[in-house]
Structures are given as C-alpha cells and as structure tokens.
Amino acid sequence: MIERMDTKSKILDVAENLFGNYGFEATSLRDITAKAQVNLAAVNYHFQSKDSLIDAVIERRIAPVNRRRLEMLDAAGPNPTVEQIAEAFIAPVIERDPSPITALMGRILSTPDQFITRVFKKHLVVVAQRFTDAIGQALPELSPAERLWRMHFMGGAMAHVLGWSHLLPELTGGLCDASDRKAVTARLVRFLAAGLRAPEGN
Amino acid sequence: MIERMDTKSKILDVAENLFGNYGFEATSLRDITAKAQVNLAAVNYHFQSKDSLIDAVIERRIAPVNRRRLEMLDAAGPNPTVEQIAEAFIAPVIERDPSPITALMGRILSTPDQFITRVFKKHLVVVAQRFTDAIGQALPELSPAERLWRMHFMGGAMAHVLGWSHLLPELTGGLCDASDRKAVTARLVRFLAAGLRAPEGN
DNA sequence: GTCTATAGGTTGATAGAC
DNA sequence: GTCTATCAACCTATAGAC
C-alpha cells in the first residue's frame, strides 16, 4: 500500500538531506523546493520561515534518538559499564535507519553557532547530564570537570565520524568504510571506553 | 615600533576571525571589509575572489601548524610514545598564539564540503600519513584500517574542542574552561592516548 | 592601491488569484 | 493548499575615476 507523501513531509525529508550534506547556510529554500518538486511558497505556508524549518527538521530526528539513548542506558541496569554507556550514546545515532540522519546529526554537532546552540540546549543538555552522571558512577575517581571534558571528547569523535563518513573512503584510499554501521560503532566504543577509563593524572 | 597594518593583512586577520566564528558561507565580504575598515573592492583587488581569500586564510595558518607538528614528532626520537604522538598532533593547534586560529582550525575540520576537502587533501593528507605511520610503529598490533579510524577519532575530538571552546563555559555552567590551553591539551592527550592503546578486539 | 558606483544574480518572504 | 508574480534586501564581482 503505497501512500503518496504530502508536501510537508516531502519538504522535511529533502531539507534534512540537503542541510546534512551541504549545511544550513549553504542550502536555500529554492534548493529544497526544487528537489522536493513542490512550490517555493509551500515552505512559508507550512513552516513560517527558514529558521522554523530548520527547527522542525532537527526536532523530528533528535527526539527519538535521545529517547533511544536513555532507553539503552536504562536497559544496561543500575551499574552500566563504560562500554555500555558509550554504546548507548553512540549507537542510536550511527546505526539508525534510514541513512540521512547521520549527515544531519553530524552537521548539528559541527555547527557551533548561536542558532544551533539554542537547539543544543533544548535537546542535548538534559541527555548529556544523564550520561555524565552515569560516567561519574562508573568512574567515581574522575573529577566533575574531567567527566564533562570526556563527554565532550566523546561527542566530538562521534560528530566527526558522522560528518565525514561519506568522504572517508576517498580520503583513506578505501581503507575506511563507514557503511557497516555496527562495525563503526564497535570501533568507536572500544576507543572511547578506553579514553574514558584513562587515569586523570596529576 | 608600532607599524600600521596594511590592507591585505587586515583583511586576512578579520576574515580568519569571522570565518572561524561564523563559518565560510555565513560570512560575507561586506562583513569582512566593514569590520576591517577597508573598502569592499579591496578584497577582489588583493585576492581574486572569495574562494581565493578562503584559501589564503587557511594556507597562512595551516602550513606553520603542520611544520610544527612534524618538528615535534621528529623531536620525540625514533620511537615516540603514543602520548608524544598525540601531543605532537594536538599541541601545535591548541596552544598556538594568537587565539583566532583555534576557531578557524575547528571550522575547517568541521566543514565536510567539497571545497574544504580540497584543502584537506592538499595540507592534511601528508601529515596524517606521517602520524598514522608513527601510530603503526608504536602499536604494531593494530590493523592499517584501525589506525586510520583512530586518527579520525583523534581529529574529531580535537576539532570539537576547537569549534565549541568559546561556548563551553556557558554550556557546562563554567565547569569547563578552555582558556588554559596547556591543561586542555593534557586532558586530550591522556584521553586519546588511552583510546589509541585500546585492544582492537575481534 | 583605493575609491564610487553599479551590474547581475540570489536570497527569504509575501500578496493575491485560484 | 497550491500557484504565479514580485518585492526588498542581500550577495559577489567588476568597471572606471582618482
């Protein structure tokens, strides 16, 4: 039973794809409406402005990802290992179907502007708190500041993978291929878990 | 002996600052010439186009950073430790004065577009090769692909720190402060060295 | 080398017919 | 809800006087 997609959903899907691959500034409303084969005015009818469209695109994807993150963290029980914490943070983003989400999430995390900071505060701060707490429980010897720094490093490694994955095969002569998402997650988890466990030093 | 800066240098300095803080697309030539207090046409006189200006801004900073990276790697002797490798990769970027370079480098690494990929290939591939080789020497048990992935993770953690550092105090309630650059480098090196040393697993 | 003026194109957003 | 037509603002780039 194939259902024709309505204009609003088509705009959201195409915008997500273009924002992720080319950036929010670099993507014009005309790019979006042309590719979605809808009228230019439809964007301002269904959404009020480009900024509101960006909000809607982000909101649609980031909410379920964060829900899944907390689910996985809860499913790991009252004393999750560092590996379980890292996997709960990363897997819901990297392994998610369908594909375009990865480019979008990488773009969000790699756009440190005022506008994105608002989104960041709205959707990510609360999740980051839960994960920082979990790290503190698993590694009580770390200072509060160090825990936050390591969350930051973890987010950075993940964001970089998301943003550059479509270019990696070319840049590494085919040696790195992000198409096997589960394998990428496993590599990241091993690397990050070891980093999280590092002694804090002096 | 204070020397007045010439127009070309003023443009480069202001462009570096704005590109770093707001992005390449989001910064117009008018933004640059207004802040630099020079005429709009001066950009196209001294540089040929906006793209060439971007090239010039990047080139001016990335070349000495990469030189310093290789110097530090060489200075670590024929068998550098993982910590020395990580520090040689990171310190030349993070600890470098003056400040605007950090935002610019973070922006470059966080802009996975065709244009930046060209820059990436021109300036970073050769350095990445040297560092990947060094990692392979220090950790011969890692597969070639895993070495590249871990270089990628390392670059990502660093890029994220560079790009978000000016927003970190606000997002962490003041707990994370990137102004002590040496301390940030030390935190990153400890985290990344442990990650690089992680067993590769099945 | 530095300026004014402007060409030529793109952008986000809207008014108003259907 | 969807369309055409258009506005006002912005952009990069250049021609030509000084």
pLDDT tops 60 at residue B3: no
B57-61, B94-98, B150-154: which has the minimum mean pLDDT? Answer: B94-98
Report pLDDT digits (tens) over B171-184. 899 999 988 999 99
B149 Cβ contacts chain C strand, under 7 Å: no
Residues 5-44 of A with CB under 7 A from strand C: 27-31, 40-41, 44
Q: A105 near A93, Cβ under 8 Å?
A: yes
What does the block give as tokens for B55? 């090239």
What does the block give as tokens for B14? 């202001």
Residues in chain B: 202
What does the block give as tokens for A133? 């707490």
- List the end-to-end C-alpha distance of chain A, in Å, as a whole number: 64
Residue appearing with tokens 């200075």: B75
**How many beta carbons lie within 10 A of that of residue A161, not counting itself?**
25
By the CB < 8 Å criterion, does A136 face chain B?
no
Q: Where does the pLDDT of residue B77 fall: very low under 50, low under 70, confident under 90, or very high at 90 and above?
A: very high
By the CB < 8 Å criterion, does A115 face chain B?
no
The pLDDT value given to residue B66: 96
pLDDT tops 90 at residue A144: yes
| Inter-chain CB proximity B149 and A187 less than 8 Å | yes
Contacts of B149 (CB under 8 A, 6+ apart): A176, A184, A187, A191
Chain D nucleotides close to protein (CB under 7 A) are 1-6, 10-16
pLDDT tops 70 at residue A3: no
- List the end-to-end C-alpha distance of chain B, in Å, as a whole number: 63
What whole-number distance in Å separates Cα of residue B103 and Cα of residue B165?
A: 8
